[in-house]
Amino acid sequence: MRRFTLVQKIRNKIRLKGSLTLKISKKAKIVGCTVISKGSDNTLILEEGVNLRGVDIEITGDNSYLSISKNSIIGKNCYLSARDGAKLIIEENCMFSRNVKLMTSDGHPIYKDDKQITMLKI
């Protein structure tokens, strides 16, 4: 497990509670972002050439996974959320404008006949 560097901690708001496997390329840029992880066995991967500025990342629950592949650029005020064991994978060379929200959950479970029906399987 790699930790956030001191510079990354200074330039970003990092809040970790539980366990997070972290794989950040030395050539990834992350500035002015908020990263929150709560739960166990969660994963965050930022590959080479990833550029994040002012992005909010939230990984909650157990076994949640968020990956941003090579040369992807995410615009300011974007929100990326992986929850409840789901995977959010952004492939290579993606470019998101400002104010985009990608979420694997709407934030609360919905039940029908005592069965949760809002869990997204990807």
- Give the tens place of pLDDT for each residue, 50-87: 999 999 999 999 999 999 999 999 999 999 999 988 99
Nearest to 39 by CA among 14, 58, 67: 58
Q: Which pLDDT score, from 0 to 100, does residue 30 have?
A: 94
Cα 77 from Cα 100, distance rounded (Å): 7
Owner of token pair 């994040």: 52
Using the predicted structure, report yes or no on whether residue 111 has a pLDDT greater than 90. Answer: no
Q: Which residue has the higher pLDDT, 26 or 33?
A: 33
Domain boundaries, the chain: 6-116
Q: Which pLDDT score, from 0 to 100, does residue 45 have?
A: 96
**6-116: CATH homologous superfamily?**
Hexapeptide repeat proteins (2.160.10.10)
- Which residues lie closer than 8 Å to 114 by C-beta, 6 or more apart? none
CB 26 within 8 A of CB 46: no
Average pLDDT over residues 23-38: 94
